[in-house]
C-alpha cells in the first residue's frame, strides 16, 4: 500500500479548540477535504493532531480505469490511519477511517497526480472526539450519552440525534422533571411534555432543548438519514441548554454588573484590585 501524506493547514490559518461545542471540526472532518483540518489535541490541548493514512482504490474504481475515457469522479476508495499528538508525554492517538475520491485539482498540490487530487471524508474515529466541554456540575450520565452521540455522528447523524434525545431525558431526570402524568402514574410523559414542564424553571434552556428534540423527531420518523448540518444545528442548541442549566458564569456576570452599576460613581478599587 502506498502511504499518502496529508497536508496540514498552517498555524496562521487557525489553531482553535472547542468552547462548548465546535461544529466546524465535524464539518471539516465530514469533508471532502484535501488538507487535513487542524484539531487541537483534546488531551493536552497544546498542539494539533498529526494525520497519517494508507489508502486503496475500490474494485469498481479499478475497473473504471480500464476505459479510455474514464472521468476522475469514477475513481474512489477507502482509507485508514491515525491521528496522533506529536507532543512527548502526551502521544494521544485516534484510529480513523473513511472514503476518498479523485477530483480535478485547481492548483498543483502535494497529493495531485496529473491534475487530479484526492479528497477525503472521515466516517469513523475510535475513540470519538470529545463532543463538547462540559461545565463541572453536569452529571456523568449526560456526558456519557453525549459522548456516544459523538462517536457515531459522522457515520450515522440520525442515530446521533437519537442519542442526544436520550441525553435530554437524562438532563430532565437530573433536574427532577416528573416522568409520569400526575393523574395516571402508569402513563409516561413524552420528552416534549417534560420539556414544557421544565419551561417553568428555565424557559431559555427549555427552548433550546425543544429545538434539539424536534430535530431528533425527524431523525426517528423519516426514512432518509438526517443531514449532518441539521444534527449539528441541534447539538449547538443542546450545548447551549447545558450551558444555561449548569454553567454559573452568566449569572455571576449579571450579578457583578448589577453590583458595579449600583455603586456607579462611588466605585473605587479595593486593595485586591477587584470592584
Q: Is the pTM of this model over 0.75?
A: yes
Domain residues of the chain, as ranges? Answer: 3-126, 140-257
Cell, residue 149: 452521540
| Residue 274: per-residue pLDDT | 59
Cα gap 121→31, rounded to integer Å: 4
The C-alpha angle with vertex 145 and arms to 142 and 149, in degrees rounded to 5, equals: 135
**Mean pLDDT of successive 10-residue stretches along the chain, which has 275 residues:** 41 38 91 90 90 81 60 80 93 92 64 70 91 90 92 92 93 95 86 95 95 86 81 94 88 84 82 60
What's the length of the chain?
275
| Residue 175: per-residue pLDDT | 96
| Residue 16: per-residue pLDDT | 32
The C-alpha angle with vertex 63 and arms to 61 and 69, in degrees rounded to 5, equals: 90
- Given its phi and psi angles, is residue 264 left (phi above 0), alpha (psi -120 to 50 degrees) or beta? left
Amino acid at each position: 500500500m502506498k502511504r499518502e501524506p496529508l497536508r496540514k493547514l498552517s498555524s496562521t490559518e487557525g489553531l482553535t479548540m472547542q468552547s462548548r461545542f465546535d461544529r466546524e471540526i465535524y464539518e471539516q472532518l465530514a469533508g471532502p477535504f484535501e488538507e487535513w483540518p487542524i484539531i487541537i489535541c483534546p488531551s493536552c490541548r497544546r498542539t494539533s493532531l498529526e494525520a497519517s493514512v494508507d489508502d486503496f482504490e475500490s474494485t469498481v474504481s479499478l475497473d473504471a480505469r480500464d476505459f479510455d475515457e474514464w472521468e476522475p469522479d469514477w475513481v474512489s476508495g477507502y482509507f485508514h490511519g491515525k491521528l496522533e499528538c506529536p507532543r512527548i508525554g502526551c502521544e494521544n492517538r485516534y484510529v480513523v477511517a473513511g472514503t476518498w475520491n479523485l477530483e480535478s485539482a485547481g492548483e498543483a498540490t502535494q497529493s495531485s497526480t496529473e491534475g487530479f487530487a484526492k479528497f477525503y471524508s472521515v466516517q469513523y474515529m475510535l475513540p470519538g472526539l470529545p463532543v463538547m466541554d462540559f461545565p463541572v456540575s453536569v452529571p456523568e450520565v449526560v456526558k456519557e450519552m453525549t459522548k456516544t452521540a459523538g462517536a457515531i455522528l459522522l457515520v450515522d447523524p440520525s442515530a446521533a440525534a437519537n442519542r442526544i434525545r436520550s441525553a435530554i431525558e437524562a438532563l430532565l431526570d437530573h433536574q427532577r422533571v416528573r416522568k409520569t402524568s400526575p393523574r395516571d402514574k402508569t402513563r409516561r410523559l413524552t420528552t416534549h411534555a417534560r420539556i414544557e414542564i421544565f419551561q417553568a424553571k428555565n424557559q431559555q434552556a427549555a427552548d433550546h432543548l425543544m429545538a434539539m428534540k424536534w430535530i431528533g423527531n425527524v431523525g426517528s420518523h423519516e426514512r432518509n438519514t438526517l443531514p449532518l448540518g441539521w444534527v449539528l444545528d441541534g447539538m449547538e442548541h443542546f450545548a447551549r441548554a447545558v450551558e444555561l442549566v449548569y454553567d454559573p458564569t452568566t449569572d455571576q456576570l449579571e450579578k457583578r454588573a448589577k453590583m458595579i452599576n449600583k455603586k456607579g460613581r462611588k466605585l473605587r478599587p479595593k486593595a485586591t484590585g477587584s470592584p
